[in-house]
Each structure stands twice: as structure tokens, then as C-alpha cells.
Amino acid sequence: MTPDEMHALVERLYPLCRSITGDGVRRTLDIVGEHLPSLRAHEVPTGTDVLDWTVPREWNIRDAYIKDVATGERVVDFQALNLHVVGYSTPVHETMTMDDLAPHLHTLPDQPSLVPYRTSYYAETWGFCLSEETRASLGDGPFEVFIDSTLEDGHLTYGEAVIPGSSDREVLVSCHVCHPSLANDNLAGIAVAVALAQRLHEPRHTFRFIFAPGTIGAITWLARNRERVDAIAHGLTLACAGDEGQIHYKRSRRGDASIDRAFTHVLRGRPHTVLDFSPYGYDERQYCSPGFDLPVGSLTRTPYARYPEYHTSGDDPSFVSPTAMSDTLETLWQAVQVLERDRTYLNLSPLGEPQLGRRGLYGALGGRSDTEQAQMAMLWVLNQSDGLHSLLDIADRSDLPFATVADAADALRDAGLLKELEP
């Protein structure tokens, strides 16, 4: 998937009204499934106990508006922007004055041209979101207020795509699919995850991609897969993947998991921020809850709530760029390559330095632009391969690129100087 194709996927998904349940999630997964044939949707009935939570009723919406009775104009229109309706709003069809309507209106006075994103998942109420500029232009009414929605027993839907590897040790990549028209905060992450899945061919690890509603979706997956979580060797949540800010990586609860170290390594030498774990944010906090304590970090560009467009109508497809999504993908791909190629070896000729020339190892490096660096990588790998240090350990200690160290290890192994140890 090219950068432009990732952006086209964001644009296609953008109009859909997603929530933590409902047909918007199903349609989103249908489109993702066009790109990932292995994607399977799972339906979990309302009322199902999932850890300390219960799957809620399913919400769907067909139309909503506020109409000026005098002019017949829809002054707020769900068909124009689905953010205009508070998520999980219950049905309403009444005529009321502004005094009655005002408690149900949400604006951003400090960002008067933007429409906020608001939800009310677990309290039955209704509301509209609009720009402060629109709110100031409304008179006293009367207004026809209409929300054509349903809140009834149904299902929570999440998607799962598995790319089998030669090992049953898994890499988990999790994206939330519960936000409506917000391009950076969830759609760019979905597009990058799809592109990563398409790039994987016969990987070493098994890769498991989860597309689920935030919080309740991850909790539901964990509740239904408790016997599987021990297989997760590495993981991350992916969101806010398309803005122009620098990469941010948030460590797992463990703080020193292999995935934490992989991202720390590949981000060296470029503008970035590595954040310590905190129990707030995206679904890493579910995977890292103490009863699971999975090695799951979080990859974003500008983190949640740190850019003005966050959870507003300003987070539209023009806010995310193909270039930024491509950079996120390439950063993720580099970290994946570390996880895929990291090994621990035993030097089979540890008494002194083995003669590399007669094994053709120096000659094999001829013509490379990084010949000196590659030679140093061979020496570091031989010196540190005592069965206690992984290739990532060696790359960190030597301050050499991981790929250079891994290439050196491949050459030494092929020459019979290294033996791979089981993880």
C-alpha cells in the first residue's frame, strides 16, 4: 500500500459514523477486510460479561438535525458531519425553544470554528455538537429537534487478522475503531496497520492485528482470549499516525520489554520522544493492566490531546498526510525488523579472534559503502555472542545500526562461527 493509497483509505473511512458498537464499525471492518482478506469479524452479544465490564447495548443512527422552524433550514445536520450528534444519543423528536435546547448543545468557545466530538456511552441522554460560531448565530427558536437512533440489545463487533509466522510467538498490533469522522485519531492508525499487514510475508513471528472499539473492545478481546495472551511476545497500540508532529513512543508497563528497546534503538538520531508508561491513553492500558502485564507499547506521532485539532472537526483528511503516514509505517517497519531478526548466538570459536580472512568474510564485505562499520559489527558480534547477549544488546552497546549487526551475524553463522540459541 503506497502513501497515497493509505490516505485514500482514510478518506474512504472518514464519512462513516463509528461508535463502540453498531453498523459503522461493521462497515469499517468490511472495508478493512477488502485489503486484508484474513480479517474476521467477531460479534459479542449485549449483556456478555467481559472481565469487570458488560457489553453494552448496540447504538445505530440514521439521521439527526436541528431545524429552524421559521425558515425550514437545518442549522445543524448529521448528514453534513456525523460529529454533530453526541455519540450514543437516544432518540428525540420535539419542538423546543433555545432555553430548552441549550443544555443539550456542546461547543468549543476557545476554538469557535470547530465542532467538538462528544460521547455519552453509559448514560442515556442526547445532545448535539456544533461550532461556537453556529451557536452564536441561532436565535430563540422554536427549533425542531430530531435524532433518529436506536439503542437496543445487539452486539459489540471487533475485527482480527492473523498473519501466520514460523513461530507461534506473537506480535500484537491494536487499533481502535470507535471514533466517527476523526482522521488522525484512529483512521490513520488503521491505514498504517493495514499497510504493515500487507508488507509481511512469511514472518518469523505470528502477527495478530486487532481492530476494536476503544476500552470495551480491548477488554472484550482480552476476556475472550485469556488462554492466548501468553503467546504475545511483543505488541503495541497504533493511533494518531498521520499528523506532521514527530514520532512519540510510549513504553510498556514493563519499561524494558524488547519492543520498548526496539523502538528506542530505531529512533536514535532523529527527532522523537520516548515516554514512560502511564495508565492513561489508548488501549495499551488494558493490555498492560497488572493481571496481564503484556509487553505492549504505544506508537503515535503527536499524542492524544496534544494537538489543537484533537477530537474536533479539524481532524479531517486534510490534517493527515501521506508523507507522515509513510514515515510512521517505515518507523514501525524498522522496529518490526528488529523484533524479527533479533537472536542470541553462541560463538563457536571463542578462544581468541577467529581468522575471518580465510573464511572469506572480509572479502564478502568488499564494495560496501559501510565496509569498516560492517567489519566492526563482526568483531562485536563475535565478542559478545556468549549466549547471554542478543543482537539488540550488541547493537545498543556498539552503537551500530541493528541491521548492520544482524547482517554480520548472518555472515558469521553461515561461516560456521555462530550457533543460534533457542529464545
Where in the chain do CATH 3.40.630.10 domains reside? 3-56+155-340
Say whether 93 counts as a known binding-site residue: no
pLDDT, mean of residues 397-411: 96
311 is in an annotated binding site: yes
- Closest alpha carbon to 250 in 263, 241, 240: 263
Q: Is the pLDDT of residue 8 over 50?
A: yes
Mean pLDDT for the chain?
A: 96
Is residue 270 predicted with pLDDT exceeding 90? yes
Output the CA torsion sign for 58, 125, 81, 148.
positive
| Cα 304 to Cα 184: distance, rounded to the nearest angstrom | 10
From-to residues of CATH 1.10.10.10 in the chain? 344-420
List, by residue range, all CATH 3.50.30.90 domains of the chain: 59-152
Q: Is 115 helix (H, G, I), strand (E, B) or coil?
A: coil
pLDDT at residue 96 is higher than 70: yes
Q: CA 73 to CA 67: how far, in whole Å?
A: 5
Please give the pLDDT value at position 18.
97
Q: Specify the CATH number of the domain 59-152.
A: 3.50.30.90
Percent of the chain with pLDDT over 70: 98
d(CA 182, CA 10): 9
Phi and psi torsions of 164, nearest 5°: -65, 145
CATH 1.10.150.120 fits 344-420, yes or no: no
pLDDT at 332: 98
- Percent of the chain scoring above 90 in pLDDT: 94
Mean pLDDT for the stretch of residues 38-52? 98
What pTM was computed for the model?
0.95
Residue 91 is placed in which grid cell?
Answer: 432518540
- The answer on pLDDT for 167 being more than 90 is yes
Q: What is the pLDDT of residue 365?
A: 47
d(Cα 101, Cα 259) in Å, to the nearest integer? 50
Tell me the per-residue pLDDT of 345-386, one tens digit each, with 9 for 90 and over. 999 999 999 988 888 886 554 455 567 888 899 999 999 999
15-24, 209-218, 254-263, 370-379: which has the minimum mean pLDDT? 370-379
185 is in an annotated binding site: yes
User: Could you say which DSSP state residue 185 is in?
Assistant: I
Q: Which CATH code of 3.30.1330.10, 3.40.1390.10, 3.40.630.10, 3.40.190.10 fits the domain covering 3-56+155-340?
A: 3.40.630.10
